[in-house]
Chains A and B, each alone.
Chain A
Amino acid sequence: MFRWIANFFCPPKDAGIDLKRRHVTAAAVMGIGGGWLFHAQPADRNADANSGVRETAPNPALIRPPGSLAEAEFLSKCIRCAECMKACPTNAIQPAALEAGLQGMWSPVLKMSVGYCEYKCNLCTQVCPTGAIAKMPLESKQKVRMGLAMVDKSRCLPYAYGKTCYQCQVQCPLPKKAIWQEDATVINSAGEKIAVKLPHVDADLCVGCGTCERKCPVTDQAAIRVTSVGETRNPQNQFTWRDRYSG
């Protein structure tokens, strides 16, 4: 037994793994250099949620699946196995290009142009083998914010064109709708007064699931779109006015 252990650390010549010392050093330097370089990217400056300082703007397109850990922890655990992408019933979870920096390449991001986060589903939290997406019962998952939907008034049919549309309000899956409607009168191109319902997002209710964005009748770039602001997992990616001006 002792011989076995000794042999493990000092193997006889020719029988072990005869690595060249300088190549080992080169590989180690590449590992360290690579890791450090990744930390030097802007994307990383928001990764450390505990730093207390918001140094660069978070990426609005970096919308992680529900239950994802804070970015630094997430990236240290995610192995890009794509189980969440296979499991996602709406195909919304897609491999990241550079949304999370080069070190986050192929990690999962939600793309509302392809799908949306189904309110009654938590498959991605069930399947993640490393816990980068934490296990979550459905009730907890339904409270996680992935981001926040915002109405683009220059594209929204009632706002910009005086046409009646309430898709986003109808499609919102939350029990208490996160989209409320303002009764308003707008003027169309013929100068006629038209009664419409203007959609507004309730920032306190919206979880950023993207159902409204996916179902919006403005098909190419939806008139209501989710960005990552307000996501539960990142205290640095919140509206800052609350703290500064409203106490």
Chain B
Amino acid sequence: MAKQKSSSAVRLRRVVQTVFLLLFLYLFLQTAFHAGGTAGKGIDFFFDIDPLVLLTVWLGGHVAAAALLFSLITAGITLIFGRWFCGWVCPFGALHNLVSSWRGATTKQKIETGGYTRWHHAKYYVLIAVLIAAIVGANLAGWIDPFSFFYRSMTMAVFPAINAGLQHFFDLIYRWSPGFAAVTTEPLYRLLRRYLLTLGQPHYFWSMMFGVLFGGVVALNFFRARFWCKYVCPLGALLGFIGKNPVLQLKTDPALCGDCKLCLVDCQGGANPNGQAPWKASECMYCWNCQSVCASSAISFKFEVPGGKK
């Protein structure tokens, strides 16, 4: 099937996701020693806008760092726009989105596996367990909070591996022929040295385990698109709960719908956009894929106060 041109909303979303993913990686690299003995500026950004961090820290200690209150903005916007955060802002979600797009499933398989299932409940149970544990004094959110998970995996596995690999690569070329390296790879090496590579190779206990865990979670996207976001992520569950009655709602016009089910193919959350079963606001990541792919323009997003007349 020839790939259709995506709508401008989808293209805008991709740009926004890319920007936030790059911002995450940039802030990650900024978390290092700078002249004057300071860490980079604003490196806590993603944790500051993470309401799960605020909630668990507050439940556990009844005090929380003031900067974490920024996450109330996330929560507030979610009340109106639903889980937009998962689809547009979350850098871990952007990564899953990207990897999911490489999934080799057929259109038929995607339609069959892309809908709402009871496995979507799993993340809410994870969230409940984490919140209750926080109340009784064990903050376990960090093990499974998406930003903690992503950042930790980057710190302990991905970045050290990239650092070691690049270092090894340039060393090999240099050893093979210093003269050749001087004119070809050394300028690039100097550039990487300045902006990416660290002075000493970082080492962490358990780094192999963190790498396998991270690789496993990313690989699950080949089994189900955005597996982590749909079934595991407690932040997604929290935002799904906050945004279960969004003002921005997906409307499927039954008069126009030809029931082709194309909207189910790349539905990122498995939110039933096709109008046969009720649309699941808590699972919708507002990726606009369904609206983009719908040939009969039956799907639209509309502002409507929830609980109004049907």
Contacts and interface: CB of A to CB of B under 8 A. Distances in A.
A184 to B, nearest CB: 37
Given A15-B280, A19-B124, A91-B203, 17 more contacts: A4-B307, A17-B282, A20-B121, A26-B125, A35-B136, A75-B139, A76-B57, A77-B57, A80-B142, A83-B43, A83-B151, A87-B39, A103-B138, A114-B203, A129-B65, A130-B64, A131-B64
B245 A129 contact: no
Given A77-B60, A86-B31, A130 B245 contact: no
Interface in A211-245: none
A27 B128 contact: yes
Nearest to B282: A17
24 contacts: A1-B305, A16-B282, A17-B240, A17-B241, A19-B125, A76-B137, A78-B139, A79-B142, A82-B148, A83-B43, A83-B47, A87-B31, A87-B39, A95-B152, A95-B156, A95-B205, A95-B206, A120-B37, A122-B37, A129-B47, A129-B53, A129-B67, A130-B57, A130-B65
B145 interface: yes
A77 B133 contact: no
Nearest to A14: B278
A105 B209 CA distance: 13
A170 interface: no
Interface of A: 1, 3-4, 6-8, 11, 14-20, 23-24, 26-28, 30-32, 34-36, 38-39, 72-73, 75-83, 85-87, 89, 91, 94-95, 97, 103, 105-106, 111, 114, 120-123, 126-127, 129-131, 138
The 3 lowest CB-CB distance pairs between A and B, nearest first, are: A31-B132, A76-B60, A7-B307
A131 B307 contact: no
B104 interface: no
Contact of B155 (A18, A76, A82): A82
B140 A34 contact: yes
A94 B204 contact: yes
Interface string B246-262: 01000000000000000
